[in-house]
Structures are given as C-alpha cells and as structure tokens.
Chains A and B, each alone.
Chain A
Amino acid sequence: MKLVCLLNLFLLSSVPLLSQGNFPFSIRIQQPDVIASVSNGAVLTFNVPQGRSESLVVNLTYLGSGSVNFASRPDLLGSTAFELIDVPAAPIQLSNGQNYRFGVRYTPRSSALVSSQITLPYTETLTAANGATSTATGQLLLQFNGTSPEFVVSYLTPELVNVTPLAPGAPISFPPAPVNGTATYVISIVNRGTGAGELRSITLAGEEFSIAGLPLLPLNLPAASEIRFNLRFQPNSAGTKIAQLTVTTANGSSTFSIDGLGFEPRFAYELISAEEVRTINPGETISFGEALPGETATLQILIRNVNPISTTLPTISVFGTGFALSENPGTRTLRPGESVGFFIQALVGQIGSQRGRLRIGDDAFDLLLLGSGAQLRYSYSSSGSGSINLPANGSIFFPASVIGSPKTSIVTVRNSGIAEANIINISLSDVNTAFALTDLPTLPARLAPGGELSFGIRFSPTAAGTTSVTLRVDGTTFTLAGSASALPALPRYRFTLSSGPVPALTQPAIGIELLEPYPVAVNGVLSLLQEASGFVNDPSVRFANGSQSINFSIAANSRQAIFANGSSFIRFQTGSVAGDLILSATFGAGGAILPDANQEIVRMTVAPGAPRILSFFVNQAANALGLQLTGLTTSRSVTKLDIELTPLDGFTLAQTKFSIDLEGESFVWFRSSQSQSFGGIFTLQIPLFFSQSGNDSSAQVSNLIQSIASVQVTLTNESGSSSAASVSLR
C-alpha cells in the first residue's frame, strides 16, 4: 500500500501549486521505505483502503544561510481524514542544514475523494555579508488528497438485466436448473472507490458450481473499473446444492453463500389426432392407425413445460423410414405451463407395420404406422432345417436326392399385412416333373392378418441329374430345383411260390421278398400271364383285385412287398384251363424303372386232366328226367358221358347203362366264342325220355320215372374219366 501511496504522491506532486523561486527549504516526504522530494505547493495523494491509516513525514531542511523561524505549528485545513502528528512545539528556529519535521496521517472514512491543505508560515532572517539583516516571510504549502478503493460484488441474471449487489455474506441464489443443464450468473466486481485497489483472489468451494472467465489474479483494479466472470451452476442430480464464493481484495475478504436447486426437467405431452386428444407418456407407442401405401398420416404432439422454471426444449427428432417432423419448435424456451406443438408425418411405404421412434430429449416414444392391405411372406423348411425366408422369385433347392427317395419341403405363406388375403392358385408350371405339391389347402384360401397356410413340395427324382420347375402362388413365382444321383441296382428277390404243377379251381397266395433290403422305397407290379394249352385263356385267371396285375410296394430299407390289399400276400385264381400261369414282377423307384438283371418268374402249370363233375342235378317230369351237370375239363374237351340208371326193385329197364358220345358236340362248344367266357367249365343238360313196352310191373306205374331209384353219371375225355356223380331220386 505504501508504494501505491507514494506513487500517487509523486505523480500528483508534479503539479506544483506555488512558485519555488525563493523557498529556502527542501521538502522531503518520508515513509518508512521511501523518501521523495517535492516542491512547495505540491499535491500529495493518499490511497488507503478503508479501515486502515497511512502516514508520512514531511521533512523540511533549511537551505539558506540565515536562519528561519517557525512561529507556530503547521495549520491543517480541510478533511478531517487527515491529521498532523508529531508536530514539534513552536517556535522553532533553524539554521542552515537544520530540519523541521512533522507527520501527516490519513485515515479514510469512506471511499470518497477528500482533500486537505497544510500551511506553515516562516520568517527567514538573512545576514548579508555586510552584516545587514533582512527578513523575509513565506509559508510551506502542501495539499493532500485522500482516496480509497471500494469493491462491490454483484451478480447479473443471465439476461444481464438485473444487477443484484451483494453485501458480504449475502447469498447468491440460482434459479432451479435442470439436471445436467446449466444456470449461469455473471459475477461483477466493481471498484467504485476513488483509488485503485488490489483484487487478490476469488475462490469457490463446492461441487456442481464453477467459475469461468476469471482474469489472472491478483490484479490492481483502478477506481471505477470492473471485472466480470461467470459463475455456473451445473447440477448433476436433483436437489439443493450449496457452495461458497470468497472474494479477497485489499479491503479484505468477503464470502458469499451460493445455493441452487437441481431438478429433473419434465414435459407433458399430448397427442392430438382427428379422433382424440389424450395425454401420452414417454415409452408409449404412438399409433398412426392404418393407411394405404403412398398415403400420409399426420399427428400433432403438444409439449407443455411442467417445470417450475422456464425450460428450454430439448432436441426433437424422429427416426424410422417414412416418419418426418414438421413445424419443429427447435430448442426454444418454454415458460412454466407454456405449450408448443409440432407435427409428425408418416408416409406409408409398405404393407404391414412400419415402426419409428420420436425422441424429445431423453423422452422417447415408439411410432407405429400400419400399411393397409395384405402382404404375403414366404418361407420354407426342409427336414432338419429351420425356417428359411423365401423372397419372391427366390429358389428352393433340393440337394443330392436319391432317385426314388423323395425329399419334402414345407412352404409356409404368412400374411404379415393387416388385411385378409386370398390365395386362389398354387401350382407348378409343369406337372410332369419330379416335383409335386402335397397337402395343398382347399383353394381359394383366405388368410387373415397374421394367418398362415402351408403346403408341401415333394421332390421325387426319377432320373439322375438336375431339374427345375416354377412354383406359382397366384402372381408370385419361385424356382424349385433339385438334383439326384442314380439308383443302386435292384437286389435279387424271390417269390413265395415255386414253379410247378397247380390244380385248377384253386386260389393260391403269392408274395415277393427282396433278398437284401433296398435303400429307397420300391414300387412294383406283379403280373399274371396265362399261356393256355388250347390257346383259349380262362377269364377267371385273375388276382383278387380282379386284374391280371397288382401293384405292390416295398418300404425303404425293407424287404417285404406289400400289396394293394395291405397284405404281404395276394391270391389269384388258377382257373379252369390247362396251361401255364406265369407270375413275374417289375420294379421301380421314384417313377423310374429299376433294371432287373436277375429276373425271377414263377411258372405254374395246370395240367390237362380227366373231367370233374362239379354239380349234378336231376329234374323230374312225368316221363322224363332232365340231367343237369356242371363240369370241369381243363383240356376243354369231353368225349363221353356215361349214364347209369338204377331201377327200383321190381322194375326192369331196357337199358340201365348207356354212353353218349360228346366228342363232336364238345368240340363245337369249346370252339365257340360263347364258351370262352367260361374256360373249362361247362353245363350240360341232357333230357331222358321214358316209355313203356311189354307187360311187367312198370306198366302199373303211370309216372315212369318213379321206377328210377337213382341216376349216376361219369364224364370222360382223352385224359380219363371223372368220378361218378349220382343223384338219388327216391
């Protein structure tokens, strides 16, 4: 402070108030560490902080050759902030080189500029060389100014509108600030005193507050000048926060308490649509409803500041294809209770759901827009694989199949749209390929939103190589492609019947068995061929299914053939005609014929034999018998019919045995086309007419056939005779 004081003193002393022409003194101003010479009439300035005092010593050294007399003490006129001290008692006489000292002390009462003037009259007596004595009077005149710095701390609101002076210890209360937001006051330190003052330090104690823009300290702040810096409040969490700001100047230290309230900023939201106005909360889904592709749906969102202070809107943004903001209010500040709105426009780009997100600061809302209409999505799965998406014009590949070993994929059609879909047609571009559709739903099929239908695609390659076909689901197409390797060779097999003789009119059963299992499913046909000895086949030579061929199947990796009747055996009729019955089989897999390098056949032979009488009846009339017999002759020939009548006791027949030659008639019959429908089975009706002659007991019988006890017949052909068949008439 002394330096400051003297510096000012010297500066001001350059403005002498009086002429120095005959002033016989040198004037020194002494402070403990400084001595300075000034002229008479100088203006000396003190700059002392309030509450303190500064003093100096005025030292007059008489430079004349005479003597000088101070008759009185110095006279001080002016501000009472100045006072004389250590003034010697008057009068005092000085001779050359002697000194006169007194002190001046300045104790500022305020920071106002004060002045005072010191006068000290003197009388100089000079003695000339001639001894003459002369006197002269004069006076010492010194003027003192007193200054003092005065620091005032105040803060300004962010808008720099209101300046609030702070008394020492006064609080600095920040307005509520949002968590992670910033509230700033400008702190002003003004030296409104009359002298410069030292600003030594500014310190801040407390978290979540900070200082910015502070000049390098310490610094000397001239009177009527100011420094400013920012005091920031940045709450990290909600709640009341406190700190202390200490300002140290030449005048001393002042501490100010700081407080601020941190809060979580909050806004209320309202959704305004044509249908409703309702409050929405962060995390909710804002639905735009349904619209057709190409249409735009618009909703308005109203934001209301529900915070206790004006709050700046956070950034508003939307994400998601088709969603856009309009009339975005930006980051403007809303007063408490104030609202502002903006619009979200959603352009339907596709059928189905379209999702986006609205973000307002930390608040987020899901956006949902439904594109009206049906939308079919396709997928497929194969054995051992999960579901695979199938785009339109995509492909399903069936790799490395074996001929005869079908592979299946399941195609699923899902309506991911929000309207019902109708599927009219599911088809293949070519039905004569290895691909086939299975388990087709009834078409047309309706698919509700979220519904799905499935159908199968079976790839049953019939030849080695690659093949492809187009699958159509209404207007959408897909490529089906597959490849297959060649089939392994058919193993040997056997029939359960052996070649050899077989009786006519029998129904044997036959089965087929592979000697080794075959890796893929086999389909086959068992055929029955008749080679009749007489070149006329018997139409009754059939399998039980009524045909001369019957399908069978052999499951993959098995050996036993299963026929269409579900059994491992199938029966057939051997018929009624001599000849060979040839049973053979063909095999295939997956629609391809399996070459049979070791073909087996069963050749069964119905031998020509003697006739058999299957049934024999006798119809009786008064004098006639009608013989009706049904017989079998595998050679389709009958040469003779023997008839034997047995009369009742007491009756005599002219002839009891007789033969009928049937060779010619048999030949005619069995060569007729009519007979060919019956093979070797025939019905023969022969009437026998009775008449009476002579005179015996039979004459008493009006009904002549009552004389016949029984009739016996025997058929004969080139191989022999049948067993006799008889009918008893009584």
Chain B
Amino acid sequence: MSVNTKRGGAMSKVLDSVVAGLVTLFLYGLASSTPAYAGPEADRQAMRAHYEKRFPGIPVEAHKDGVYAFDENAREQWLELEDFPPYEIAVDEGEEFFNIPFADGASYSDCFSDGAVKSQYPYFDEDRSEVITLELAINDCRRQHGEEPLPYNSAEIVRLSAYIAFLSRGQIIAVAEPSSESALAAYNEGKRFYASRRGQLNFACNSCHVQLAGNRLRSEHLSASLGHVSHWPAYRLKWQDVGSLHRRFARCNQQVRAEPFAQQSVEYRNLEYFLTYISNGLPLNGPAIRK
C-alpha cells in the first residue's frame, strides 16, 4: 500500500512537472509568436519624428515629392519636365476609358462618381477581410457591370488610375486607422514586409528608405517612405511609360534579387495599406514623374 502511495506521489510529481513544463512552453510560445507591435498611429508618429530629425528644415509633407524634397538639382530638372508632363497622354487616355460605357449602359462613373476618389483607397473591407485598392475597385466595378476584369499590368488600368489620380490631386491621404483584428493583421503584414530583409542582397524596403533615406545609392538619392504612395501611378523615365505603384514594388524586389510578387497580390496590397496609413496627412499629387 505504502509502495503504491509512494508510486502515486512520484507519478503526481512527474505529472505536475509535465503540466508546468507545458504551461511554460505555451506561455513562451505565446510570447514569442506575438511580437510587441506598436499601434498604427504610434508607427505614423514615429516615422514623422524620424524624418523630421533626419531632414531638419524639410516639412514632412514635402516628402510627397520624393527625392525632389531635398535634392535641389533633381528638383529643378523635375520642375522643367512638369512644363510638358510626359504623363499627360496617359491621363487623357484614362479619361477616354473612363467615359466609355459598359455593355450594360453603365460606366465607371456609376462606381466612382466624378472620379476624384483616390483618397478613399486603399481601405480594409471587413466583409471581404482584405485590402481594397483603387485597381481592385476598378475591376470590381467592371465585374459588377458584366465586363471582364483588366490585367493589372495592362495599359488600360494604369491609365484609368492615372486619370483618377489626376482628378484627386490635392486630396489629403486619410486612411482610417485599422481597428479590427483582421485590419490590424493586414496592416502588420504590410509593416512586416516593409522591414523584412529579402533577396540575395539582403535588403529590406526600410534599409534604404528609413535607415539610409537621404543618402546616395550610386548616383541616386534615397527617398523617404512617407509620400511613397502619394504620387502613383507615375511616369518613370526608365520605363518611358506610366506605371503602377505595385510595378515599382516589384522592381524594388527584383533589384535586391528577390522574386517579386504579382501586382495586386495580397502581399503588395497589405504593403500599400501600411505605407498609405503612415503617409496620412500628406496630399495626393499623382500622376508624377520619377527617374
């Protein structure tokens, strides 16, 4: 009997140890799998403070112009280009596309009223549990009216968004603060993407645009993250065409030898969501010209 009791006591101790171990492991796992995220508004304030310190004398809002905010020579050349902007043709073509009626007699204005709606995007759709960008909304509109969606790298969708961006110039970026669990998750995914090193060259987006912003990479200055989303689509001299923000994301990824994601992929939409939120308060100024 006493032997059994002793055995029972020993078993109980072993069980206690196992339970304690499991609880410790669970708590450790919980702690290590849930990083201590700062809230979106704290991120935005921190970014603004970072660039105020990094670029003293340059108002944060000036970063809507990218490197032209602090590179005087490049700014002069850019302003010269703006006299006869190369994106003008794309805007005109976008206007034509915008006004072509769908087969059911409706048109884009049934979805986007007068077209000056850029500041409403991106947003987090709670029902669909995903980030909705302007390009996604354009294709949603087409589907609603029985039209085939446009490929996201097509000239037509880029021109349509260039026209909408042009009509929306001067609107202030004002993305609603992500509050639901799923909206916060999308925001944090975008934030994680921005700060994660990737590609064989082992660079994160924020290696260049936060930590090294203002420095030169070969002959080019590195722009600040704030304002990165304000001026798209943009005419890039390198592309000799107007292209989308996601095309630029892909190119950045390729430059560090990372495999890029598809335009309008969940990854790039979350990234756009994060970048746009931290740019809240800056004016929209697309389409723009960039090297």
Query: Do A and B interact with each other, yes or no?
Result: no
